Structure 1
């Protein structure tokens, strides 16, 4: 079922020919001086065009630090690899959100421990309550470390938020 997929990191994903073509077109459009590479600012514009958000300074720094110092920017091959990885991560988080939404049967925007238990009882009825509690605790901790708003109340019921 989807649990084995949800716990895994993004799988290798290949863009369709039309998507790959779009990425190349965006690269060329942002390579204003036709140097065959993107500057830091041109990279930011390309990300806005493809993903709809402006990369943070930290994200831009990380990308630029991985660029070969002998070039004056991000080459097409590097750009395509970066975009593919961003797309994989985007698909991964969309899958997580889909699973979360399926478990959030009351559309509250969070999962209580009871919601979590009910979901597991449907997909893995023989799993012990102790293991379900441990998974809930670990998932809450993981989401917090990944920068997702995740929280457990001090009460025994607890909540798991994904926003």
Structure 2
């Protein structure tokens, strides 16, 4: 509903030259023996250096399964694409957190129907009350009258996926 039209959207993020240089330096530092690629373990070290966490087995498997079978690891160009994608996801999640915090005017860590109503009145004053209530109920997954960040993030991501697949929930011409 609301989220497919007005939700945060991942944006193509332009990598600065200094950031690009840093990523290349990390690649080179982790490329033991100057092989020209990163092995699974090299990749894990690079992620720790850039993002501050060790990738899970599932994440490492996913990355390594995308590697060209003719190579023994992740080439520089592939590594740069992976890092850019991870950075975009990180920025998108931060954007969702920022929106949630703006809605959470009392800093409680959750949103109430009143919080939703006030936020919607500011950004879409003509939106019917029934739509706001419907959105709130949709996002309040456990029907406890509170929307956690996790629920909010899920709704924002769900709306974005629907948007990407052309499944907008708002009808054309319906006012926000």
After TM superposition, is the score higher than 0.5? yes
1:100 aligns with 2:100: yes
- Residue 5 (structure 1) shift: 6.2
- 8 Å contact 1:14–1:84 — kept in the other structure? no
Q: What is the CA deviation profile of residues 4-40 of structure 1, one whole-angstrom value per residue up to 9, with x for unaligned ones? A: 56343x1211210000000000000000121111011
Q: Distance in 2 between matches of 1:64 and 1:140?
A: 37
Figure out how many residues of one structure are paired with residues of the other and give that number.
Answer: 147
Matches within 5 A, 1:133-152: 133-140=133-140, 151-152=142-143
Matches within 5 A, 1:31-42: 31-42=31-42
Distance 1:41 1:138, change over 3 A: farther
CA RMSD of aligned residues (A): 1.7
Structure-1 residue corresponding to 2:149: 162
Structure-1 residue corresponding to 2:169: none
- Residue 139 (structure 1) shift: 3.9
Under a length normalisation based on structure 2, what TM-score does the superposition of the two structures give? 0.78
Distance 1:34 1:138, change over 3 A: farther
Alignment gaps of 5+ in structure 1: 142-150
